[in-house]
Amino acid sequence: MSFTAVAYIIALIMAGVLLFGAVYFVIMLTDLECDYINPIDLANNLNTYVMPEMAAQLALFVVFLLMGEWTTMLLNLPLTAWNVVKVVNNRQFYDATEVFRTLSRHKRENFVKVGFYLLCFFYYLYSMIMTLVNESTADYHAASAH
């Protein structure tokens, strides 16, 4: 099994975890909207996961960049750039005093992330399968040539 196949397997797992995290964020924001949770608890809960999510997304981007998987790297570029802009502008964390005013923006952002991670999950699955099939075919042809 090649490094590319292993990278896609790890990316597939990470995409699943990030998808689960984005759904968790949407659920928590909906709980705030329905007044099941207060803004301070929401900010404390979600801010714990903001930087690990961004770090995981950046790690995926860097791995595919270093591997030369340009299509996959370009797929990850928009969200990675968006995360970098948020960190540079110091807007990455949820502010308990502002969360009600910006609730619709946060929900929209997290719905987009759910869609993005779902797309990535299936793209990584497809790429992993294609990589493994191509390796298997190449091994078969190399073995039959002898």
Tens digits of residue pLDDT in 105-146 = 999 999 999 999 999 999 999 999 999 998 887 766 666 766
Q: Between 3-33 and 39-67, two packed helices, what is the crossing angle to 10 degrees?
A: 160
HSE at residue 19, side-chain half, CA atoms within 13 A, is 15
Q: What percent of the chain has pLDDT above 70?
A: 94
Looking at residue 2, its pLDDT comes to: 86
Phi, psi dihedrals of residue 34, rounded to the nearest 5°? -90, 0
Q: Which residue has the higher pLDDT, 95 or 146?
A: 95
The Cα–Cα gap between 50 and 83 comes to: 10
Predicted confidence band at 100 (pLDDT cuts at 50, 70, 90)? confident
User: What integer is the mean pLDDT of 32-48?
Assistant: 92
Looking at residue 34, its pLDDT comes to: 92
Please name the residue that has the structure tokens 């969360």.
99
pTM of the model: 0.89
Complete DSSP assignment for 89-100? TT--SPPTTTTT
The Cα–Cα gap between 2 and 13 comes to: 17
Looking at residue 143, its pLDDT comes to: 67
- The number of residues in the chain equals 146
Q: Which two tokens stand for residue 16?
A: 């699943």
Q: Is 53 within 8 Å of 18 (Cβ atoms)? A: yes
Q: Is 28 within 8 Å of 46 (Cβ atoms)? A: yes
